[in-house]
Amino acid sequence: MAQNGLSLGPDFLFGIYDGSTGAILAVGDVQNVKVTKHNTAVTSKPYNGPPRFAHVPDGYSGSFQIMRTSSAIEVLEISRDAKIYAGSVLPTSFLNKTVNNPDGSVTTTQYTGLDWFLNEEADVSKDKAVSQTIEWHASQEVVVL
């Protein structure tokens, strides 16, 4: 939702394509999204001149909290663990991000080379909804037309 030229939280929509099943993972009520772009610094310090600096893109990482609406994520995570222990290869996944911009346009990007996992299976309290946390790492972000 855009308001007064600002992007507010509900603008972000996420969907994970699970490479091991070929399904779009319905992750429930997504909250507390965090995305970090990583870079590796490159420095040259010649004896005959000033230092020079650059950076190399080094992927992305992030997490989001979801409100548990079913056991689907736990069951999928157990299945993925079993495949890893059996020596199977898990195909790569990707994460789609759709943003409604303050100017009314829509931007859709995709994080590719995605590795995701259920980090916090349950945060349980008698006075709040059960939440879970998914963490992920991706190789790059590309624009989807």
Query: In 3-state terms, what secondary structure has residue 28?
Result: coil
Task: Write down the residue that tokens 């091991």 correspond to.
Answer: 20
pLDDT of residue 104: 82
pLDDT of residue 1: 54
Tens-digit pLDDT profile for residues 20-60: 677 777 676 788 889 999 999 999 999 999 999 999 999 99
Tens-digit pLDDT profile for residues 93-125: 888 888 888 888 888 899 999 888 888 888 788
This prediction's pTM: 0.79
Residue 78 CA neighbour count, 13 Å, CB half: 6
pLDDT of residue 40: 97
Backbone angles phi, psi at 87, to 5 degrees: 85, 15
